[in-house]
Structure 1
Protein backbone atom coordinates (compact mmCIF):
# COMPACT_ATOMS: atom_id res chain seq x y z
CA UNK A 1 0.00 0.00 0.00
CA UNK A 2 1.18 3.48 -0.91
CA UNK A 3 1.00 6.07 1.87
CA UNK A 4 -0.31 8.67 -0.56
CA UNK A 5 -3.17 6.29 -1.47
CA UNK A 6 -3.98 5.93 2.23
CA UNK A 7 -3.95 9.72 2.61
CA UNK A 8 -6.38 10.06 -0.31
CA UNK A 9 -8.58 7.28 1.09
CA UNK A 10 -8.71 8.93 4.50
CA UNK A 11 -9.57 12.31 3.01
CA UNK A 12 -12.45 10.81 1.00
CA UNK A 13 -13.67 9.05 4.15
CA UNK A 14 -13.54 12.27 6.20
CA UNK A 15 -15.14 14.53 3.58
CA UNK A 16 -17.73 12.00 2.42
CA UNK A 17 -17.22 12.32 -1.32
CA UNK A 18 -14.83 12.45 -4.26
CA UNK A 19 -15.47 16.09 -5.21
CA UNK A 20 -14.95 17.42 -1.68
CA UNK A 21 -11.82 15.33 -1.28
CA UNK A 22 -10.50 16.60 -4.62
CA UNK A 23 -11.04 20.20 -3.51
CA UNK A 24 -9.30 19.52 -0.21
CA UNK A 25 -6.33 17.81 -1.87
CA UNK A 26 -6.17 20.16 -4.87
CA UNK A 27 -6.55 17.27 -7.33
CA UNK A 28 -9.00 16.52 -10.12
CA UNK A 29 -11.88 14.18 -9.14
CA UNK A 30 -10.94 11.59 -11.77
CA UNK A 31 -7.52 11.17 -10.15
CA UNK A 32 -9.12 10.60 -6.74
CA UNK A 33 -11.52 8.03 -8.21
CA UNK A 34 -8.67 6.17 -9.93
CA UNK A 35 -6.55 6.05 -6.78
CA UNK A 36 -9.45 4.69 -4.71
CA UNK A 37 -10.21 2.00 -7.30
CA UNK A 38 -6.52 1.07 -7.39
CA UNK A 39 -6.44 0.73 -3.60
CA UNK A 40 -9.61 -1.39 -3.62
CA UNK A 41 -8.15 -3.65 -6.29
CA UNK A 42 -4.91 -4.01 -4.33
CA UNK A 43 -6.78 -4.96 -1.16
CA UNK A 44 -9.44 -7.04 -2.89
CA UNK A 45 -12.18 -5.30 -0.94
CA UNK A 46 -14.77 -2.60 -1.54
CA UNK A 47 -13.95 0.31 0.75
CA UNK A 48 -17.00 2.50 0.09
CA UNK A 49 -20.71 2.02 -0.43
CA UNK A 50 -21.85 4.29 -3.26
CA UNK A 51 -25.01 6.29 -2.50
CA UNK A 52 -25.37 8.68 -5.39
CA UNK A 53 -22.55 11.18 -5.19
CA UNK A 54 -21.92 10.45 -1.53
CA UNK A 55 -19.68 7.65 -0.36
CA UNK A 56 -20.17 5.78 2.89
CA UNK A 57 -17.50 3.57 4.41
CA UNK A 58 -18.05 -0.17 4.07
CA UNK A 59 -17.15 -2.56 6.89
CA UNK A 60 -13.73 -3.09 5.29
CA UNK A 61 -13.33 0.66 4.85
CA UNK A 62 -13.93 1.28 8.55
CA UNK A 63 -11.22 -1.23 9.43
CA UNK A 64 -8.78 0.29 6.97
CA UNK A 65 -9.47 3.83 8.21
CA UNK A 66 -8.20 2.92 11.67
CA UNK A 67 -5.02 1.44 10.17
CA UNK A 68 -4.62 4.43 7.85
CA UNK A 69 -4.73 6.84 10.80
CA UNK A 70 -2.05 4.85 12.61
CA UNK A 71 0.18 4.31 9.56
CA UNK A 72 0.07 7.95 8.50
CA UNK A 73 0.76 9.09 12.06
CA UNK A 74 3.75 6.74 12.26
CA UNK A 75 5.01 8.09 8.94
CA UNK A 76 4.78 11.64 10.27
CA UNK A 77 6.61 10.58 13.43
CA UNK A 78 9.36 8.86 11.43
CA UNK A 79 9.76 11.90 9.20
CA UNK A 80 10.04 14.23 12.18
CA UNK A 81 12.48 11.90 13.96
CA UNK A 82 15.04 11.88 11.16
CA UNK A 83 14.87 15.56 10.29
CA UNK A 84 17.47 17.79 11.88
CA UNK A 85 17.54 21.54 12.11
CA UNK A 86 14.97 24.09 13.27
CA UNK A 87 11.20 23.54 13.06
CA UNK A 88 9.83 23.89 9.56
CA UNK A 89 6.92 22.83 7.37
CA UNK A 90 3.30 23.06 8.54
CA UNK A 91 1.74 23.38 12.00
CA UNK A 92 -2.00 22.70 11.95
CA UNK A 93 -3.36 24.18 15.16
CA UNK A 94 -6.93 24.04 16.45
CA UNK A 95 -8.38 26.47 18.98
CA UNK A 96 -11.58 27.48 20.70
CA UNK A 97 -12.80 30.83 19.41
CA UNK A 98 -12.36 32.57 22.77
CA UNK A 99 -8.74 31.45 22.98
CA UNK A 100 -8.00 32.46 19.41
CA UNK A 101 -9.49 35.92 19.94
CA UNK A 102 -8.12 36.83 23.35
CA UNK A 103 -5.07 34.69 24.03
CA UNK A 104 -3.31 33.68 20.83
CA UNK A 105 -2.17 36.94 19.15
CA UNK A 106 0.87 37.30 21.42
CA UNK A 107 2.05 33.66 21.38
CA UNK A 108 1.49 33.36 17.62
CA UNK A 109 3.53 36.49 17.00
CA UNK A 110 6.40 35.12 19.11
CA UNK A 111 6.12 31.75 17.38
CA UNK A 112 6.38 33.33 13.92
CA UNK A 113 9.46 35.26 15.03
CA UNK A 114 11.09 32.18 16.56
CA UNK A 115 10.11 29.73 13.78
CA UNK A 116 9.89 31.66 10.50
CA UNK A 117 10.14 28.45 8.44
CA UNK A 118 6.88 27.09 9.86
CA UNK A 119 3.60 27.82 8.07
CA UNK A 120 0.74 27.88 10.55
CA UNK A 121 -2.89 26.95 9.86
CA UNK A 122 -5.39 27.96 12.56
CA UNK A 123 -8.76 26.20 12.79
CA UNK A 124 -11.41 27.26 15.33
CA UNK A 125 -14.38 25.19 16.44
CA UNK A 126 -16.09 22.92 18.94
CA UNK A 127 -13.53 21.55 21.47
CA UNK A 128 -14.88 18.02 21.09
CA UNK A 129 -14.38 18.10 17.32
CA UNK A 130 -10.94 19.66 17.70
CA UNK A 131 -9.86 16.79 19.96
CA UNK A 132 -11.22 14.26 17.45
CA UNK A 133 -9.26 15.96 14.66
CA UNK A 134 -6.07 15.74 16.72
CA UNK A 135 -6.70 12.04 17.31
CA UNK A 136 -7.21 11.42 13.59
CA UNK A 137 -4.08 13.49 12.75
CA UNK A 138 -6.06 16.13 10.84
CA UNK A 139 -4.65 18.63 13.35
CA UNK A 140 -1.22 18.52 14.95
CA UNK A 141 -2.40 20.09 18.21
CA UNK A 142 -5.33 22.01 19.66
CA UNK A 143 -6.17 24.42 22.47
CA UNK A 144 -9.27 23.22 24.33
CA UNK A 145 -10.86 23.67 27.73
CA UNK A 146 -10.42 21.02 30.40
CA UNK A 147 -11.19 18.25 31.09
CA UNK A 148 -9.35 16.12 28.52
CA UNK A 149 -9.09 12.51 29.62
CA UNK A 150 -8.12 10.55 26.49
CA UNK A 151 -4.98 8.53 27.35
CA UNK A 152 -3.67 8.92 23.79
CA UNK A 153 -3.20 12.66 24.30
CA UNK A 154 -0.42 14.62 25.96
CA UNK A 155 -1.49 17.90 27.57
CA UNK A 156 0.09 21.17 28.65
CA UNK A 157 -1.66 23.90 30.61
CA UNK A 158 -1.57 26.87 28.26
CA UNK A 159 -3.77 29.45 29.99
CA UNK A 160 -5.64 29.91 33.25
CA UNK A 161 -9.01 31.55 32.68
CA UNK A 162 -11.38 33.36 35.03
CA UNK A 163 -14.97 32.81 33.96
CA UNK A 164 -17.60 35.49 34.57
CA UNK A 165 -21.31 35.98 33.95
CA UNK A 166 -22.27 39.07 31.95
CA UNK A 167 -25.64 40.80 31.67
CA UNK A 168 -26.94 44.14 30.43
CA UNK A 169 -25.71 47.30 32.16
CA UNK A 170 -27.57 48.15 35.35
CA UNK A 171 -28.52 44.56 36.10
CA UNK A 172 -28.80 43.98 39.89
CA UNK A 173 -25.98 41.93 41.48
CA UNK A 174 -26.22 38.19 40.88
CA UNK A 175 -24.98 35.83 43.56
CA UNK A 176 -26.84 32.91 41.97
CA UNK A 177 -28.89 32.17 38.89
CA UNK A 178 -32.03 32.98 40.89
CA UNK A 179 -31.00 36.65 40.69
CA UNK A 180 -30.96 36.69 36.88
CA UNK A 181 -33.64 39.04 35.56
CA UNK A 182 -33.70 37.07 32.32
CA UNK A 183 -33.63 33.28 32.48
CA UNK A 184 -32.44 33.04 28.85
CA UNK A 185 -28.91 31.77 28.16
CA UNK A 186 -26.85 33.25 25.34
CA UNK A 187 -24.28 30.64 24.38
CA UNK A 188 -22.52 28.59 21.73
CA UNK A 189 -23.46 25.05 20.64
CA UNK A 190 -24.01 22.23 23.12
CA UNK A 191 -20.39 21.08 22.94
CA UNK A 192 -19.09 24.40 24.31
CA UNK A 193 -17.54 23.89 27.79
CA UNK A 194 -18.49 27.45 28.84
CA UNK A 195 -22.13 26.75 28.01
CA UNK A 196 -21.96 23.64 30.18
CA UNK A 197 -20.53 25.75 33.01
CA UNK A 198 -23.37 28.27 32.65
CA UNK A 199 -25.97 25.50 32.63
CA UNK A 200 -24.35 24.05 35.76
CA UNK A 201 -24.61 27.45 37.43
CA UNK A 202 -28.35 27.52 36.74
CA UNK A 203 -28.82 23.89 37.78
CA UNK A 204 -26.99 24.56 41.06
CA UNK A 205 -29.69 27.11 41.91
CA UNK A 206 -32.47 24.76 40.90
CA UNK A 207 -33.35 27.00 37.95
CA UNK A 208 -34.33 25.70 34.53
CA UNK A 209 -33.54 28.29 31.80
CA UNK A 210 -36.50 29.54 29.81
CA UNK A 211 -34.52 28.90 26.66
CA UNK A 212 -31.03 28.87 25.16
CA UNK A 213 -30.24 31.15 22.24
CA UNK A 214 -27.32 29.66 20.30
CA UNK A 215 -25.04 32.20 18.62
CA UNK A 216 -21.95 31.82 16.47
CA UNK A 217 -19.50 34.36 17.93
CA UNK A 218 -18.67 36.19 21.12
CA UNK A 219 -19.43 39.52 19.48
CA UNK A 220 -22.94 38.29 18.72
CA UNK A 221 -23.35 36.99 22.28
CA UNK A 222 -22.14 40.27 23.78
CA UNK A 223 -24.35 42.34 21.47
CA UNK A 224 -27.43 40.36 22.47
CA UNK A 225 -26.44 40.65 26.13
CA UNK A 226 -26.27 44.45 25.82
CA UNK A 227 -29.75 44.34 24.28
CA UNK A 228 -31.07 42.56 27.39
CA UNK A 229 -31.87 39.28 25.66
CA UNK A 230 -30.28 37.13 28.35
CA UNK A 231 -27.12 36.31 30.29
CA UNK A 232 -23.87 34.76 29.10
CA UNK A 233 -20.71 33.24 30.52
CA UNK A 234 -17.23 33.77 29.11
CA UNK A 235 -13.56 34.22 30.05
CA UNK A 236 -12.79 37.65 31.46
CA UNK A 237 -9.98 37.87 28.90
CA UNK A 238 -12.60 37.95 26.11
CA UNK A 239 -14.55 40.75 27.77
CA UNK A 240 -11.33 42.74 28.23
CA UNK A 241 -10.93 42.92 24.44
CA UNK A 242 -14.49 44.18 23.87
CA UNK A 243 -14.79 47.91 23.22
CA UNK A 244 -18.41 48.15 24.46
CA UNK A 245 -17.84 46.46 27.83
CA UNK A 246 -19.04 49.59 29.68
CA UNK A 247 -22.54 48.70 28.46
CA UNK A 248 -22.43 45.39 30.36
CA UNK A 249 -22.55 44.34 34.00
CA UNK A 250 -20.12 41.71 35.27
CA UNK A 251 -21.00 39.10 37.91
CA UNK A 252 -18.52 36.70 39.52
CA UNK A 253 -19.06 32.99 39.93
CA UNK A 254 -18.31 30.86 42.97
CA UNK A 255 -14.75 29.59 43.40
CA UNK A 256 -15.88 26.14 42.21
CA UNK A 257 -17.06 27.43 38.83
CA UNK A 258 -14.82 30.45 38.33
CA UNK A 259 -11.56 28.86 37.24
CA UNK A 260 -10.91 27.00 33.99
CA UNK A 261 -7.74 25.82 32.30
CA UNK A 262 -7.10 25.85 28.55
CA UNK A 263 -4.92 22.92 27.51
CA UNK A 264 -2.67 22.35 24.52
CA UNK A 265 -3.24 18.74 23.45
CA UNK A 266 -1.39 16.53 20.96
CA UNK A 267 -0.98 12.81 20.33
CA UNK A 268 1.61 11.14 22.55
CA UNK A 269 2.66 8.77 19.79
CA UNK A 270 3.42 11.50 17.25
CA UNK A 271 5.71 14.06 18.89
CA UNK A 272 6.56 16.82 16.41
CA UNK A 273 9.22 19.50 16.48
CA UNK A 274 6.68 22.15 15.47
CA UNK A 275 4.28 21.26 18.28
CA UNK A 276 7.11 21.18 20.82
CA UNK A 277 8.34 24.58 19.62
CA UNK A 278 4.86 26.05 20.06
CA UNK A 279 4.60 24.42 23.50
CA UNK A 280 7.86 26.11 24.47
CA UNK A 281 6.40 29.47 23.43
CA UNK A 282 3.41 28.85 25.70
CA UNK A 283 5.78 27.93 28.53
CA UNK A 284 7.61 31.20 28.02
CA UNK A 285 10.76 29.55 26.74
CA UNK A 286 12.87 30.67 23.79
CA UNK A 287 13.08 28.17 20.91
Structure 2
Protein backbone atom coordinates (compact mmCIF):
# COMPACT_ATOMS: atom_id res chain seq x y z
CA UNK A 1 0.00 0.00 0.00
CA UNK A 2 1.36 3.40 -0.97
CA UNK A 3 1.36 5.63 2.10
CA UNK A 4 0.91 8.67 -0.15
CA UNK A 5 -2.60 7.40 -0.86
CA UNK A 6 -3.31 7.28 2.87
CA UNK A 7 -1.97 10.82 3.23
CA UNK A 8 -4.32 11.91 0.46
CA UNK A 9 -7.28 10.27 2.22
CA UNK A 10 -6.41 12.04 5.49
CA UNK A 11 -6.06 15.36 3.68
CA UNK A 12 -9.51 14.93 2.12
CA UNK A 13 -11.10 14.16 5.49
CA UNK A 14 -9.31 17.03 7.26
CA UNK A 15 -9.97 19.53 4.46
CA UNK A 16 -13.56 18.47 3.84
CA UNK A 17 -13.21 18.55 0.06
CA UNK A 18 -11.16 17.19 -2.81
CA UNK A 19 -10.23 20.72 -3.92
CA UNK A 20 -8.95 21.78 -0.51
CA UNK A 21 -6.97 18.56 -0.05
CA UNK A 22 -5.44 18.96 -3.52
CA UNK A 23 -4.38 22.51 -2.66
CA UNK A 24 -2.72 21.39 0.57
CA UNK A 25 -0.85 18.55 -1.17
CA UNK A 26 0.04 20.58 -4.27
CA UNK A 27 -1.81 18.13 -6.55
CA UNK A 28 -4.54 18.54 -9.14
CA UNK A 29 -8.02 17.49 -7.93
CA UNK A 30 -8.04 14.79 -10.64
CA UNK A 31 -4.75 13.31 -9.41
CA UNK A 32 -5.94 13.31 -5.82
CA UNK A 33 -9.26 11.67 -6.75
CA UNK A 34 -7.32 8.99 -8.60
CA UNK A 35 -5.25 8.27 -5.49
CA UNK A 36 -8.42 8.04 -3.43
CA UNK A 37 -10.01 5.57 -5.86
CA UNK A 38 -6.85 3.43 -5.86
CA UNK A 39 -6.90 3.30 -2.04
CA UNK A 40 -10.60 2.37 -1.99
CA UNK A 41 -9.93 -0.43 -4.48
CA UNK A 42 -6.99 -1.66 -2.40
CA UNK A 43 -9.10 -1.76 0.79
CA UNK A 44 -12.24 -2.99 -0.97
CA UNK A 45 -14.46 -0.37 0.63
CA UNK A 46 -15.65 3.17 -0.23
CA UNK A 47 -13.95 5.56 2.18
CA UNK A 48 -15.72 8.86 1.47
CA UNK A 49 -19.13 10.13 0.42
CA UNK A 50 -19.47 13.17 -1.83
CA UNK A 51 -22.24 15.70 -1.28
CA UNK A 52 -21.78 18.53 -3.77
CA UNK A 53 -18.32 19.95 -3.18
CA UNK A 54 -18.08 18.57 0.34
CA UNK A 55 -16.73 15.15 1.28
CA UNK A 56 -17.22 13.15 4.47
CA UNK A 57 -15.91 9.72 5.53
CA UNK A 58 -18.06 6.61 5.28
CA UNK A 59 -18.31 4.15 8.18
CA UNK A 60 -15.33 2.29 6.69
CA UNK A 61 -13.47 5.57 6.33
CA UNK A 62 -14.06 6.43 9.98
CA UNK A 63 -12.89 2.96 11.00
CA UNK A 64 -9.52 3.33 9.26
CA UNK A 65 -9.00 7.02 10.10
CA UNK A 66 -7.05 6.67 13.35
CA UNK A 67 -4.98 3.63 12.25
CA UNK A 68 -4.11 5.52 9.06
CA UNK A 69 -2.90 8.52 11.06
CA UNK A 70 -0.73 6.27 13.25
CA UNK A 71 0.72 4.49 10.22
CA UNK A 72 1.59 7.76 8.47
CA UNK A 73 3.15 9.11 11.66
CA UNK A 74 5.23 5.96 12.10
CA UNK A 75 6.40 6.11 8.47
CA UNK A 76 7.54 9.70 8.87
CA UNK A 77 9.36 8.85 12.07
CA UNK A 78 11.12 5.90 10.42
CA UNK A 79 12.51 8.17 7.71
CA UNK A 80 13.81 10.60 10.31
CA UNK A 81 15.26 7.85 12.52
CA UNK A 82 16.98 6.17 9.56
CA UNK A 83 18.72 9.44 8.76
CA UNK A 84 20.24 9.37 12.28
CA UNK A 85 21.57 12.85 13.05
CA UNK A 86 21.08 14.26 9.56
CA UNK A 87 17.99 16.49 9.32
CA UNK A 88 15.58 14.52 7.13
CA UNK A 89 11.98 13.36 6.85
CA UNK A 90 8.84 15.43 6.94
CA UNK A 91 8.82 18.58 9.06
CA UNK A 92 5.28 19.59 10.01
CA UNK A 93 5.08 23.36 10.29
CA UNK A 94 2.34 25.87 11.01
CA UNK A 95 2.23 29.58 10.23
CA UNK A 96 -0.07 32.53 10.68
CA UNK A 97 -1.00 34.28 7.42
CA UNK A 98 1.56 37.10 7.65
CA UNK A 99 4.40 34.71 8.54
CA UNK A 100 3.38 32.42 5.70
CA UNK A 101 4.32 35.13 3.21
CA UNK A 102 6.75 37.31 5.18
CA UNK A 103 8.99 34.88 7.09
CA UNK A 104 8.56 31.24 6.13
CA UNK A 105 9.62 31.36 2.44
CA UNK A 106 13.01 32.87 3.30
CA UNK A 107 13.64 30.38 6.11
CA UNK A 108 12.68 27.30 4.07
CA UNK A 109 14.66 28.50 1.03
CA UNK A 110 17.82 28.63 3.15
CA UNK A 111 17.13 25.26 4.75
CA UNK A 112 16.57 23.51 1.42
CA UNK A 113 20.08 24.41 0.30
CA UNK A 114 21.64 22.85 3.41
CA UNK A 115 19.28 19.95 4.10
CA UNK A 116 17.64 18.72 0.88
CA UNK A 117 16.30 15.57 2.61
CA UNK A 118 13.79 17.53 4.70
CA UNK A 119 10.24 17.51 3.32
CA UNK A 120 7.74 20.14 4.44
CA UNK A 121 4.09 20.17 5.38
CA UNK A 122 2.76 23.66 6.18
CA UNK A 123 -0.56 24.38 7.88
CA UNK A 124 -1.94 27.94 7.87
CA UNK A 125 -3.97 28.75 10.98
CA UNK A 126 -4.47 31.17 13.87
CA UNK A 127 -1.88 31.43 16.64
CA UNK A 128 -4.30 29.94 19.15
CA UNK A 129 -4.87 26.83 17.04
CA UNK A 130 -1.20 26.52 16.10
CA UNK A 131 -0.18 26.64 19.75
CA UNK A 132 -2.49 23.75 20.59
CA UNK A 133 -1.29 21.80 17.55
CA UNK A 134 2.38 22.11 18.56
CA UNK A 135 1.74 21.29 22.22
CA UNK A 136 -0.48 18.36 21.19
CA UNK A 137 2.17 16.95 18.84
CA UNK A 138 0.26 17.57 15.59
CA UNK A 139 2.95 20.01 14.41
CA UNK A 140 6.70 20.12 15.00
CA UNK A 141 6.97 23.91 14.99
CA UNK A 142 4.93 27.00 14.14
CA UNK A 143 5.55 30.65 13.25
CA UNK A 144 2.99 32.52 15.31
CA UNK A 145 2.22 35.29 17.79
CA UNK A 146 3.73 34.77 21.22
CA UNK A 147 1.04 33.81 23.74
CA UNK A 148 0.32 36.12 26.65
CA UNK A 149 0.90 33.25 29.10
CA UNK A 150 3.97 31.08 29.86
CA UNK A 151 4.79 28.61 27.10
CA UNK A 152 4.26 24.96 28.08
CA UNK A 153 7.40 23.26 29.46
CA UNK A 154 7.33 20.74 26.58
CA UNK A 155 8.01 23.52 24.03
CA UNK A 156 10.59 26.15 23.22
CA UNK A 157 10.06 29.73 22.04
CA UNK A 158 12.23 32.09 19.97
CA UNK A 159 11.17 35.65 19.12
CA UNK A 160 11.80 36.63 15.49
CA UNK A 161 10.06 40.01 15.17
CA UNK A 162 8.58 42.75 17.31
CA UNK A 163 5.64 44.23 15.42
CA UNK A 164 4.50 47.52 17.01
CA UNK A 165 0.92 48.63 16.73
CA UNK A 166 0.32 51.29 14.08
CA UNK A 167 -2.70 53.28 12.95
CA UNK A 168 -3.46 52.93 9.24
CA UNK A 169 -5.67 55.51 7.54
CA UNK A 170 -6.79 56.27 3.96
CA UNK A 171 -4.22 58.24 1.99
CA UNK A 172 -6.48 61.25 1.52
CA UNK A 173 -7.53 61.57 5.17
CA UNK A 174 -6.38 64.90 6.69
CA UNK A 175 -3.26 64.50 8.84
CA UNK A 176 -4.66 65.16 12.33
CA UNK A 177 -4.07 63.76 15.83
CA UNK A 178 -4.35 59.97 16.03
CA UNK A 179 -6.83 60.14 18.91
CA UNK A 180 -9.10 62.42 16.89
CA UNK A 181 -8.91 60.07 13.93
CA UNK A 182 -9.83 57.05 16.05
CA UNK A 183 -12.85 58.70 17.67
CA UNK A 184 -14.17 60.39 14.51
CA UNK A 185 -13.66 57.80 11.76
CA UNK A 186 -15.35 54.40 11.25
CA UNK A 187 -13.14 51.75 12.86
CA UNK A 188 -12.26 48.41 11.27
CA UNK A 189 -11.36 46.13 14.15
CA UNK A 190 -8.78 43.35 14.16
CA UNK A 191 -10.69 40.26 15.32
CA UNK A 192 -10.63 39.91 19.12
CA UNK A 193 -10.55 36.12 18.75
CA UNK A 194 -7.00 36.53 17.43
CA UNK A 195 -4.18 37.10 19.93
CA UNK A 196 -3.05 40.16 17.96
CA UNK A 197 -6.61 41.50 18.00
CA UNK A 198 -6.68 41.13 21.78
CA UNK A 199 -3.56 43.32 22.00
CA UNK A 200 -5.31 46.01 19.93
CA UNK A 201 -8.43 45.77 22.10
CA UNK A 202 -6.35 46.12 25.26
CA UNK A 203 -4.69 49.29 23.88
CA UNK A 204 -8.09 50.85 23.12
CA UNK A 205 -9.45 50.04 26.58
CA UNK A 206 -6.34 51.19 28.45
CA UNK A 207 -6.46 54.53 26.66
CA UNK A 208 -10.21 55.01 27.03
CA UNK A 209 -10.72 55.19 23.26
CA UNK A 210 -14.35 54.82 22.16
CA UNK A 211 -14.36 53.87 18.49
CA UNK A 212 -17.17 53.76 15.93
CA UNK A 213 -16.81 50.12 15.04
CA UNK A 214 -17.90 49.30 11.49
CA UNK A 215 -16.80 45.66 11.18
CA UNK A 216 -14.40 43.10 12.61
CA UNK A 217 -12.03 41.01 10.46
CA UNK A 218 -9.40 38.36 11.17
CA UNK A 219 -7.30 38.94 8.01
CA UNK A 220 -4.81 41.81 8.21
CA UNK A 221 -4.43 42.17 4.44
CA UNK A 222 -8.23 42.45 4.14
CA UNK A 223 -8.27 45.15 6.83
CA UNK A 224 -5.58 47.08 4.95
CA UNK A 225 -7.60 46.74 1.74
CA UNK A 226 -10.71 48.14 3.44
CA UNK A 227 -8.77 51.11 4.80
CA UNK A 228 -7.18 51.72 1.39
CA UNK A 229 -10.69 52.00 -0.13
CA UNK A 230 -11.61 54.70 2.38
CA UNK A 231 -14.02 52.57 4.42
CA UNK A 232 -12.45 53.38 7.78
CA UNK A 233 -9.28 53.32 9.87
CA UNK A 234 -7.65 50.50 11.81
CA UNK A 235 -4.98 49.61 14.33
CA UNK A 236 -2.83 46.68 13.23
CA UNK A 237 0.59 45.24 14.02
CA UNK A 238 3.26 46.40 11.55
CA UNK A 239 3.57 42.92 10.07
CA UNK A 240 6.43 41.53 7.98
CA UNK A 241 6.27 42.48 4.31
CA UNK A 242 5.04 41.93 1.72
CA UNK A 243 1.90 43.99 2.22
CA UNK A 244 -0.73 43.91 -0.56
CA UNK A 245 0.31 45.91 -3.62
CA UNK A 246 -1.40 49.14 -4.59
CA UNK A 247 -2.53 50.18 -1.11
CA UNK A 248 -3.39 53.86 -0.77
CA UNK A 249 -2.96 54.43 2.93
CA UNK A 250 -0.69 56.07 5.49
CA UNK A 251 0.83 54.52 8.59
CA UNK A 252 0.95 56.43 11.89
CA UNK A 253 3.11 55.18 14.78
CA UNK A 254 1.40 54.83 18.15
CA UNK A 255 4.11 55.53 20.75
CA UNK A 256 3.76 53.36 23.84
CA UNK A 257 1.06 51.19 22.26
CA UNK A 258 3.10 48.02 22.46
CA UNK A 259 2.67 45.33 19.83
CA UNK A 260 2.90 41.63 19.20
CA UNK A 261 5.92 39.35 19.26
CA UNK A 262 6.12 36.93 16.35
CA UNK A 263 8.37 33.91 16.64
CA UNK A 264 8.72 30.15 16.43
CA UNK A 265 7.26 27.64 18.87
CA UNK A 266 8.57 24.07 18.69
CA UNK A 267 8.39 20.80 20.55
CA UNK A 268 11.46 19.71 22.49
CA UNK A 269 11.31 15.98 21.74
CA UNK A 270 10.35 13.53 19.02
CA UNK A 271 11.77 11.53 16.17
CA UNK A 272 12.20 14.62 13.99
CA UNK A 273 14.38 16.46 16.52
CA UNK A 274 17.26 16.94 14.05
CA UNK A 275 14.98 18.58 11.47
CA UNK A 276 13.31 20.68 14.18
CA UNK A 277 16.66 21.91 15.46
CA UNK A 278 17.77 22.74 11.92
CA UNK A 279 14.60 24.80 11.43
CA UNK A 280 14.98 26.61 14.75
CA UNK A 281 18.68 27.23 14.03
CA UNK A 282 17.70 28.81 10.70
CA UNK A 283 15.21 31.02 12.55
CA UNK A 284 17.86 31.96 15.13
CA UNK A 285 20.35 32.81 12.37
CA UNK A 286 17.77 35.15 10.89
CA UNK A 287 17.50 37.06 14.17
CA UNK A 288 21.30 37.35 14.35
CA UNK A 289 21.54 38.62 10.76
CA UNK A 290 19.04 41.37 11.53
CA UNK A 291 20.55 42.28 14.90
CA UNK A 292 17.50 41.07 16.83
CA UNK A 293 17.64 39.58 20.33
CA UNK A 294 17.82 35.81 20.43
CA UNK A 295 14.55 35.43 22.30
CA UNK A 296 13.67 32.85 24.92
CA UNK A 297 13.78 29.16 24.31
CA UNK A 298 15.77 25.97 24.41
CA UNK A 299 17.70 23.97 21.88
Q: Which runs of 5+ in 1 are unaligned?
A: none
1:167-182 matches, cutoff 5 A: 167-168=168-169, 170-174=175-179, 180-182=183-185
Quote the Cα distance in structure 1 between the aligned partners of 2:167 and 2:181: 15
Quote the Cα distance in structure 2 between the aligned partners of 1:102 and 1:162: 12
Q: CA deviation at 1:95?
A: 2.2
Q: CA deviation at 1:234?
A: 0.8
Is residue 2:33 matched to residue 1:29?
yes
Q: Which residue of 2 aligns with 1:159?
A: 160
The verdict on how the C-alpha distance between 1:69 and 1:160 changes in structure 2, with shifts beyond 3 A counting, is same
Q: CA deviation at 1:260?
A: 2.5
Q: Which residue of 1 aligns with 2:15?
A: 15
The verdict on how the C-alpha distance between 1:277 and 1:243 changes in structure 2, with shifts beyond 3 A counting, is farther
Q: Which residue of 2 aligns with 1:39?
A: 43
Quote the Cα distance in structure 1 between the aligned partners of 2:67 and 2:233: 47
Q: Which residue of 2 aligns with 1:235?
A: 238
Quote the Cα distance in structure 1 between the aligned partners of 2:65 and 2:150: 23
1:199-238 matches, cutoff 5 A: 199-204=201-206, 205=208, 207=210, 209-212=212-215, 214=217, 216=219, 218=221, 221=224, 224=227, 227=230, 229-235=232-238, 238=241
CA RMSD for the aligned pairs?
A: 4.7
Quote the Cα distance in structure 1 between the aligned partners of 2:77 and 2:155: 15
Is residue 2:200 matched to residue 1:198?
yes
Q: CA deviation at 1:92?
A: 5.3
* Local SS of the residue matching 1:75: helix
Q: Do 1:8 and 1:32's aligned partners in 2 also have CA atoms closer than 8 Å? A: yes
Q: Which runs of 5+ in 2 are unaligned?
A: 289-299
* Count of aligned pairs: 276
Quote the Cα distance in structure 1 between the aligned partners of 2:223 and 2:92: 27
Per-residue Cα deviation, 1:175-221 (whole angstroms, up to 9, x for no partner): xx99643251254x665432232233334437465222537553861
Quote the Cα distance in structure 2 between the aligned partners of 1:248 and 1:16: 39
What TM-score does the superposition give when structure 2 sets the normalisation length?
0.65
Q: CA deviation at 1:35?
A: 1.8
Q: CA deviation at 1:240?
A: 10
Single out whichever of 68-77 and 110-119 deviates more from structure 2: 110-119
Per-residue Cα deviation, 1:210-239 (whole angstroms, up to 9, x for no partner): 222537553861772694721221136559
Per-residue Cα deviation, 1:6-61 (whole angstroms, up to 9, x for no partner): 434313312335676578466363552342354365xxxx8555646743235674
Per-residue Cα deviation, 1:151-171 (whole angstroms, up to 9, x for no partner): 697333142414213133723
* Local SS of the residue matching 1:87: coil
Quote the Cα distance in structure 2 between the aligned partners of 1:83 and 1:16: 34
Q: Do 2:94 and 2:125's aligned partners in 1 also have CA atoms closer than 8 Å? A: yes
Q: Do 1:94 and 1:142's aligned partners in 2 also have CA atoms closer than 8 Å? A: yes
Q: Which residue of 2 aligns with 1:249?
A: 252
Structure 1 residue corresponding to 2:187, chosen from 184, 190, 198: 184
Q: Do 2:227 and 2:249's aligned partners in 1 also have CA atoms closer than 8 Å? A: no
